[in-house]
Chains A and B, each alone.
Chain A
Amino acid sequence: MKYAVLAPEALVVALAVVILLTGRLGWLPRGSRAYLPQVTVLLVLVAFGIELWAGAALTTYFGGALVQDRFALFAKAAALLASAIALAATDWSAEDSMHLGLAMPLLAAFGVMVAASAGDLLGLWAGLELAAAAAVVLVSLRRPDLALRLLVVGGVASGLLLFGFAFLYATTGNADLATMRDVLLGRTPTVALALPVLLLVAGLAVRAGLAPFHVAGLAVGVGASPLGAGLVVGLTALASATVAVKLVAALVSIPAAYAPWTYAVAAVAIVGGGAAALAVRSPRPRLAYLAVGQLGWIAAGLATHYRTGIAASLFLLGAFAIAATCGPALLGRAEGGEPTIAGLGAVRPVRAAGIALAMLSLAGAPPLAGFFGELAVAAALAQSGNFMLLGLGLLGSVMSIAATVGTLRVLYVQSPLEEARRGAAAALPAMTTLSTAGAVAFCLVIAAYGVLGNPILGLADQGAEALGLR
Chain B
Amino acid sequence: MTLAAITTQTIGAGIFSSAFLLSLLIWVPVVAAVAIASMPNPRGRYDTLVKQIAFFTNLGTMFVLFIAYNQFENFLPTMQYEEKVPWLPAIGVTYHLGVDGPGLAMLMLSGLIGIASVLASLGVRERLRSYFALLLLAEASVNGAIVARDMFVLVLFWGASIVPLALLILGWGGPRRVAAAWRLVGYWGLGTAALVVGVLALYAAAGGRTFDMAALLEATLSPRIQLGISVAMITAAATRLPLFPLHGWARDALAEAPAGVTVIVAGAASRLGAFLLLRVVIGGEPAAAHLLSPVLAALAALTIGYAALAAIRSLDIRHAGAYLAMVPGGVTVLGLAAVSPLGIAGSVLSLFTGGLAAALIAGVCATLSERAQTRSVQLLGGLAPRMPNIAWLMTLGAFGLLGVPILASFTAEVMTIFGAMKNQPVGGFAVAIGLALTAVALAIILGRALFGATNPDAPGVSDASLGETWYLGILAGALLWVGLFPGGPKIPGTDVPLFDPGFMLQMTAGVSDIASTNYSIPIPGASP
Contact = CB atoms under 8 A, between A and B. Distances in A.
A366 interface: yes
A387 B88 contact: no
Nearest to B30: A367
Contact of A401 (B88, B155, B189): B189
B405 interface: no
16 contacts: A349-B38, A367-B157, A376-B88, A378-B196, A379-B200, A382-B204, A394-B193, A394-B197, A398-B190, A401-B163, A402-B186, A405-B166, A405-B167, A412-B167, A413-B127, A413-B170
Chain A interface mostly helix, strand, loop or mixed?
helix
Interface string A375-391: 11011011101010011
A409 interface: yes
B87 A454 contact: yes
A394 B167 contact: no
Nearest to B202: A382
B163 A311 contact: no
B113 to A, nearest CB: 21
Contacts of B89: 454, 458
Nearest to B161: A366
A397 B189 CA distance: 9
Contact of A382 (B155, B160, B189, B200): B200
Interface string B117-160: 00000000001001000000000000000000000100111011
A412 B181 CA distance: 15
Contacts of B182: 402
A334 to B, nearest CB: 20
A366 B204 contact: no
Given A457-B88, A458-B89, 16 more contacts: A311-B90, A349-B38, A353-B37, A365-B159, A378-B200, A379-B203, A382-B203, A382-B204, A383-B203, A385-B204, A394-B196, A405-B167, A405-B185, A413-B171, A458-B90, A461-B90
B491 interface: no
Interface in B29-43: 37-38
A63 to B, nearest CB: 33
B162 interface: yes
B57 interface: no
Interface string B438-465: 0000000000000000000000000000
Nearest to B207: A383
B201 interface: yes
Interface of A: 308, 311-312, 345-346, 349, 353, 360, 365-367, 371-372, 375-376, 378-379, 381-383, 385, 387, 390-391, 394-395, 397-398, 401-402, 404-405, 408-409, 412-413, 453-454, 457-458, 460-461
B409 interface: no
A381 B196 CA distance: 12
A408 B127 CA distance: 14
A457 B91 contact: yes
Contact of A371 (B38, B159, B185): B159
B192 interface: yes
Contacts of B170: 405, 409, 413
A401 B155 CA distance: 15
B388 interface: no
Given A379-B91, A398-B186, A366 B171 contact: no
B197 A408 contact: no
B157 A408 contact: no
B86 interface: yes
B208 interface: yes
Contacts of B156: 366-367, 371, 375
Contacts of A460: 90
A382 B190 CA distance: 18
B88 A454 contact: yes
B91 A367 contact: no
Contacts of B200: 378-379, 381-382, 390
Nearest to A353: B37
B167 A375 contact: no
Given A345-B130, A385-B204, A408-B167, A401 B91 contact: no
B167 A398 contact: no
Contacts, number: 112
Interface string B484-505: 0000000000000000000000
Nearest to A460: B90
A409 B171 contact: yes
A383 B197 contact: no
Interface in B393-409: none
Given A394-B197, A405-B163, A412 B86 contact: no
Interface centre among A308, A346, A375, A385 (most CB of B within 10 A): A375
A120 to B, nearest CB: 29
B384 to A, nearest CB: 37
Contacts of A401: 162-163, 185, 189
B157 A412 contact: no
A454 B130 contact: no
Nearest to A404: B163
Contacts of A402: 182, 185-186, 189
Contacts of A390: 196-197, 200
A409 B171 CA distance: 7
Nearest to A401: B189
A214 to B, nearest CB: 23
9 interchain residue pairs of minimum CB distance: A382-B200, A398-B189, A394-B193, A413-B171, A382-B204, A366-B159, A366-B160, A383-B208, A366-B156
Contacts of A308: 90-91, 208
B237 to A, nearest CB: 17
Interface in B158-184: 159-160, 162-163, 166-167, 170-171, 181-182
A397 B186 contact: no
Contacts of B201: 382, 387
A367 B167 contact: no
Contacts of B166: 405
Contact of A409 (B157, B167, B203): B167
B455 to A, nearest CB: 35
B196 A375 contact: yes
B171 A412 contact: yes
A382 B203 CA distance: 8
A382 B91 CA distance: 12
A366 B157 contact: yes
Nearest to A409: B170
A16 B160 CA distance: 41
A453 B196 contact: no
A273 to B, nearest CB: 16
A309 B201 CA distance: 16
A453 B160 contact: no
B139 to A, nearest CB: 15
B249 to A, nearest CB: 13
A265 B129 CA distance: 43
B136 to A, nearest CB: 15
Interface centre among A372, A385, A390, A405 (most CB of B within 10 A): A405
Interface string B262-300: 000000000000000000000000000000000000000
Nearest to B162: A401
Contacts of B185: 398, 401-402, 405
Nearest to A413: B171
A391 B197 contact: yes
